[in-house]
Amino acid sequence: MRYIGEVAGRYALSDRKPLNSKDIPVYACRLRSISTRTAVVVAPVIGEVGETVAAHFDVFGIFRAVVTRKISDGFAMDLNLSDADRQKLAAKIAWRKRTSITNAADKREYKRILPRNPRTVLTLDNGEQLPCFVIDISQSGAAISAKVRPKLGVPVILGQLIGEVVRYLDVGFAIHFLELQDLAAVEKLMVPFQPE
Range of the structural domain that residue 26 is part of: 2-98
Res 7 pLDDT > 50: yes
Identify the pLDDT of residue 183. Answer: 85
Q: How confident is the model at residue 113 (pLDDT cuts 50, 70, 90)?
A: confident
- Domain-located, residue 24: yes
- Domain-located, residue 92: yes
Nearest alpha carbon to residue 185 among 164, 161, 168, 162: 161
Residue-wise pLDDT tens digits, 157-172 = 999 999 999 999 888 9
- Domain-located, residue 175: yes
- Domain-located, residue 106: no
Res 100 pLDDT > 90: no
Helix runs in the chain, H state only: 83-98, 186-189
Same domain (yes/no): 9, 84: yes
- Domain-located, residue 39: yes
- Domain-located, residue 109: no
- Domain-located, residue 196: no
The model scores a pTM over 0.75? no
Q: What is the mean pLDDT of residues 136-143?
A: 93
Distance separating alpha carbons of residues 50 and 66, to the nearest angstrom: 6
Same domain (yes/no): 37, 66: yes
Read off the CATH number of the domain in which 18 is found. Answer: 2.40.10.220
Give the count of domains, the chain: 2
- Domain-located, residue 88: yes
Percent of residues, the chain, with pLDDT higher than 90: 64
Where does residue 102 rank: exposed (0-12), middle (13-18), buried (19+ CB within 10 A)? exposed
Question: pLDDT: is 37 or 106 the higher one?
Answer: 37
Distance separating alpha carbons of residues 38 and 77, to the nearest angstrom: 6
Identify the pLDDT of residue 19. Answer: 64
Same domain (yes/no): 22, 79: yes
Q: How confident is the model at residue 194 (pLDDT cuts 50, 70, 90)?
A: low
Same domain (yes/no): 123, 82: no
Same domain (yes/no): 94, 13: yes
